[in-house]
Amino acid sequence: MGKLRDYIERTSYMMVGVQFALAIFIGLAIGYWLDKEFKTFPWLTIFWFFIGLAAGFKNVYRELKKISK
């Protein structure tokens, strides 16, 4: 049973890399969309890009904390 739990956790580590990239793209998409709505290109795109970057790092951090626990 404990072994199965390990597999479950390892599987969730497999997605960290993909999520890191996707979070940035989602941030960019939201920023781009908001910029088009408010006509403030490129400020919100840049801002949301960094939000996405931070979200990616947060995902990695969360998984790292789980590993080192």
Partner 1 sequence: MEHGSVIKIVGIPDHVTMTWLMMAVVLVFAYVLGKNLKKFPDRIQYVFEALTSFIVYTLEDAMGKYGRKFFPLIAGLAVFILFGNLMGLIPGLTQPTANLNTTLALAIISFLVYNYEGIKKHGLVNYIKHFAGPVPWMAPIMFPIEVVSHLSRILSLSFRLFGNMFGDEMVVLVALMLVPFLVPVAGEFIVFANSFLQTFIFCILTVVYIATAIEEHEEEHA
Task: Summarize as ranges the residues that interact with partner 1 (CB under 8 A).
Answer: 1, 4-5, 7-9, 11-12, 14-15, 18-19, 22-23, 25-27, 30, 48, 51-52, 54-56, 58-59
Alpha carbon distance 60, 45 (integer Å): 23
Least Cβ distance, residue 45 to partner 1 (angstroms): 14
Cβ proximity of 22 and 12 under 8 Å:
no
Nearest to 63 by CA among 5, 3, 14: 14
Structure tokens at 55: 């979200």
Least Cβ distance, residue 32 to partner 1 (angstroms): 13
Least Cβ distance, residue 28 to partner 1 (angstroms): 10
